């Protein structure tokens, strides 16, 4: 197992690569991916195994006999520890236990007797795709890498699907190009020794939610501590978001216990009712060794900022482009203060809380507990009794729910109680989406509904996993953008071990009308001071979004004046241009433009396509 590279590796945080079987025909395909600046990890034969970008700080490799293992990403296991695992492996399926045990967030690649195994994370933050190129099975961590190898254009029907708001499972996981297959996050890709035969092998399942809050909180504390330690154990300077909310505050206090020096970063909100700064300053009062940087609220980019100049290479549309400038704006300032990594509290909302949809099953298994809690939710969220009863009585399986949504794409959104207690928010299309696009999206929904399985039979756990995985698809792109900006980001709440620890706690103790994030509060007791754990709300960015629409009206108009979506016949540009002239239109408060803007920005950023067999025009790697 040897490594070569033609120039210095890029900075950490942007590792991405393709994986090839140990065959001569695969080596010929791999040569089409090679270009200056890429690194290569070779099979013992000298043929390419991994080709791509990674930094020395984020790769660990080991070989024992005919087994080769590689971890790329964040994992505290060193080469000697990985070699001990490699010495025990006699079949690639034996790596399930290793993948379920290690902390951090990483891709795992293995080669054994000609067979390959490649997997990402159960969270979906690190993904795997595969395609057959000239008959050879090639895996990659980005779908656009394979699309370039195939010389494919994006599929218009899949673009139509991405105009849905939201895009439901499983359609949100499909690559934008035909001929490329996404590996579900809970599966590993296995490539046979012939270099052509592939299958998916389940390596992860969510835990049963049976732990009490008292039993589960220490497990969450341990998992989150390990996740932060994996990023801070090498010392140096790390920066942290500090909004004053429970999530970012927890990460900041855990980082402060590490060998690293911590710089905390707070963006006060423009809204006078926003109390983030007060809570952040209270937290810093307990952190005398932490440098606290408070940015000028008026200097913070608004939502919709800089949409016309985004040039990141993305392998799918993402609504994250709306907040790209806001996410990246402070990173140069953190770099000036020496930060090598920026830690966020993103993901705390996804795992420390959970969906009220659990109460659908809980009502049938623990009716007294469910009724008591549901009364509290009705008062808290102002759910009407009739709507609550109808939602709880709806026992449609997921496929039927999805098929029904296919015929209601132009309907108004249902009441909040319906979406909270159902499989999720049903997808919708808006006035500017053309009838052709509607037919394509509806057809895709009906086809998916025929054989679909939810993430889990319990609609609450399904909703939790859907929220986690739809969130990580955004964060995955932000991480690439941040690495390009010079300071990689990390979100410890979204490590698999943290997710498992949270999901293992009984849902009626995780989500309750009587307390705000009780699981995280209990887990951080003794680490985060009690005054900082008393916050029971979080700031909203509704004012920033509304101001952004007004401030960037001209950019939105320019976006639609030469719309790629309009050229494809998927949107009515006249409707979008009229909306851009009326940024105070009430419906725009509900983010209904997000999916359309995401698709438009993505199309504008695509590199030229070269047909299969020609030299690729641009290397997404």
Helical ranges in 382-516 per DSSP H: 385-393, 398-406, 416-421, 435-451, 459-485, 496-503, 507-510
Instruction: Using pLDDT thresholds of 50, 70 and 90, give the confidence band for residue 302.
Output: confident
Percent of the chain with pLDDT over 70: 95
Q: What CA–CA distance (Å, rounded) separates 59 from 5? A: 14
Evaluate if residue 545 carries a pLDDT over 80.
no
Question: Looking at the predicted structure, is the pLDDT value of residue 616 above 70?
Answer: no
Helix axes 435-451, 398-406, angle to 10 degrees: 170
Full-model pTM: 0.95
Task: Name the pLDDT band for 589 (thresholds 50, 70, 90).
Answer: confident
**Is a pLDDT exceeding 80 seen at residue 518?**
yes
pLDDT digits (tens, 9 = 90+) for 71-80: 999 999 999 9
Tens digits of residue pLDDT in 405-449: 999 999 998 999 999 999 999 999 999 999 999 999 999 999 999
DSSP letter for 184, please: P
Half-sphere exposure of 574 (CA within 13 A, CB side): 1
- The domains of the chain, with CATH numbers, are 3-153+175-202 (3.60.20.10), 213-302+320-352+470-542 (3.40.50.620), 358-426+446-459 (no CATH)
Q: Measure the CA–CA gap between 99 and 145, rounded to whole angstroms.
A: 25
| Average pLDDT over every residue of 516-536 | 95
pLDDT surpasses 70 at 177: yes
pLDDT digits (tens, 9 = 90+) for 21-72: 999 999 999 998 988 889 999 999 999 999 999 999 999 999 999 999 999 9
Which among 68, 175, 166 is positioned nearest to 127, based on CA atoms?
175
**CA-based end-to-end distance of the chain:** 21
- pLDDT band at residue 542, thresholds of 50, 70 and 90? low
């Amino acid at each position: 197992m040897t490594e070569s590279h033609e120039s210095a590796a890029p900075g950490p945080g942007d590792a991405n690569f393709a994986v090839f079987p140990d065959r001569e025909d695969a080596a010929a395909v791999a040569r089409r991916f090679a270009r200056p600046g890429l690194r290569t990890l070779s099979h013992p034969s000298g043929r390419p195994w991994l080709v791509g970008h990674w930094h020395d700080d984020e790769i660990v490799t080991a070989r024992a006999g005919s087994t080769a293992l590689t971890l790329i990403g964040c994992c505290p296991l060193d080469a000697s520890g990985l070699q001990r695992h490699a010495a025990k492996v006699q079949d690639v399926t034996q790596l399930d236990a290793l993948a379920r045990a290690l902390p951090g967030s990483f891709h795992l690649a293995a080669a054994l007797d000609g067979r390959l195994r490649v997997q990402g994370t159960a969270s979906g933050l690190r993904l795997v795709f595969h395609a057959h190129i000239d008959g050879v099975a090639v895996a990659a961590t980005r779908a656009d890498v394979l699309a370039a190898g195939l010389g494919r254009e994006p599929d218009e029907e899949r673009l139509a699907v991405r105009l849905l708001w939201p895009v439901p499972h499983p359609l949100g996981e499909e690559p934008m190009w035909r001929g490329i297959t996404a590996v579900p996050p809970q599966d590993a890709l296995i490539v046979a020794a012939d270099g052509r035969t592939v299958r998916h092998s389940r390596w992860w399942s969510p835990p049963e939610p049976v732990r009490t809050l008292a039993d589960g909180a220490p497990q969450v504390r341990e998992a989150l501590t390990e996740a932060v330690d994996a990023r801070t154990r090498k010392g140096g300077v790390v920066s942290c978001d500090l909004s004053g909310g429970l999530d970012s505050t927890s990460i900041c206090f855990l980082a402060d216990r590490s060998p690293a020096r911590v710089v905390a970063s707070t963006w006060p909100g423009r809204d006078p009712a926003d109390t983030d700064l007060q809570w952040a300053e209270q937290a810093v009062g307990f952190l005398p060794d932490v440098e606290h940087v408070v940015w000028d609220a008026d200097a913070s980019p608004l939502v919709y900022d800089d949409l016309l100049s985004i040039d990141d290479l993305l392998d799918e549309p993402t609504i994250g482009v709306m907040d790209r400038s806001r996410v990246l704006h402070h990173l140069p300032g953190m770099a000036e203060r020496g930060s090598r990594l920026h830690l966020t509290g993103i993901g705390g909302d996804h795992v420390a809380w959970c969906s009220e949809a659990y109460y659908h099953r809980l009502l049938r298994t623990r009716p007294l507990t469910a009724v008591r809690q549901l009364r509290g939710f009705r008062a808290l969220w102002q759910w009407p009794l009739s709507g609550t009863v109808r939602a709880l009585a709806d026992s449609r399986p997921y496929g039927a729910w999805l098929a029904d949504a296919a015929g209601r794409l132009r309907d108004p959104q249902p009441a909040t109680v319906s979406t909270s207690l159902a499989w999720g928010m049903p997808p919708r299309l808006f006035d500017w989406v053309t009838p052709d696009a509607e037919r394509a999206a509806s057809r895709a929904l009906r086809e998916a509904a025929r054989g679909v399985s939810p993430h889990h039979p319990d609609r609450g756990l399904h909703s939790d996993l859907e929220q986690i995985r739809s969130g990580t698809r955004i964060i995955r792109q932000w991480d690439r953008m941040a690495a390009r900006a010079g300071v990689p980001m990390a979100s410890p709440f979204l490590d698999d071990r943290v997710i498992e620890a949270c999901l293992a706690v009984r849902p009626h103790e995780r989500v309750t009308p009587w307390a705000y994030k009780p699981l995280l509060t209990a887990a951080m007791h003794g680490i985060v001071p009690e005054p900082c754990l008393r916050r029971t709300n979080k700031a909203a960015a509704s004012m920033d979004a509304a101001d952004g629409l007004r401030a960037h009206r001209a950019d939105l108009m320019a976006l639609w004046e030469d719309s790629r979506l309009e050229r494809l016949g998927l949107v009515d540009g006249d409707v979008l241009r009229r909306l851009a002239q009326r940024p105070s239109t009430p419906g725009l408060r509900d983010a209904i433009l997000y999916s359309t803007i995401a698709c438009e920005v993505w199309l504008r950023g695509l590199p030229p396509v070269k047909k299969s067999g020609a030299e690729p025009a641009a290397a997404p790697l």
